[in-house]
Amino acid sequence: MPRRDAYSDRQPDPLDAVDTTAAHSARVWNYWLGGKDNFAPDRIAGDRLMEIFEGLELVEPGLVSCTRWRPAPDDPQANVDVPQFCAVARKP
């Protein structure tokens, strides 16, 4: 009978699946909100994206998840965030 390893019953750690070497939209959003759950690639991507809007005025609703950009009142996906952002800005 094979000997069982004491660690074989452990569940895999979900953090092992987190790639901290590439930006992720949720962590970029966390960075913009002043949160602490982000990494250097998230901050770099967030800063680069904000550079696009330098000198421009964001138009309502601002920079948001695409599903939140003027959704239809009966859209069931209106409150579901996707890893894409939409924005419109104007030159003041």
- Owning domain of residue 58: 19-70+80-90
CB 69 within 8 A of CB 11: no
Count the Cβ atoms, other than its own, within 10 Å of residue 40.
Answer: 10
Rounded to whole angstroms, the Cα distance separating 38 from 26 reads 9
Please name every residue paired with 86 in a beta bridge, in sequence order, or none if there are none.
64
Residue at 48 is within a domain: yes
Specify the pTM. Answer: 0.67
Report how many domains make up the chain: 1
Residue at 31 is within a domain: yes
Q: Tens place of pLDDT for every residue, the chain, 92 residues?
A: 555 555 666 777 776 788 999 999 889 989 999 999 999 999 999 999 999 999 999 998 888 888 777 778 888 877 777 778 888 899 98
Residue at 36 is within a domain: yes
Q: Output the CA–CA distances (angstroms, integers) from residue 89 to 9, 14, 60, in the order listed.
A: 53, 38, 9
Please name every residue paired with 89 in a beta bridge, in sequence order, or none if there are none.
58
φ/ψ bin of 62: left (φ > 0), alpha (ψ from -120 to 50), beta (otherwise): left
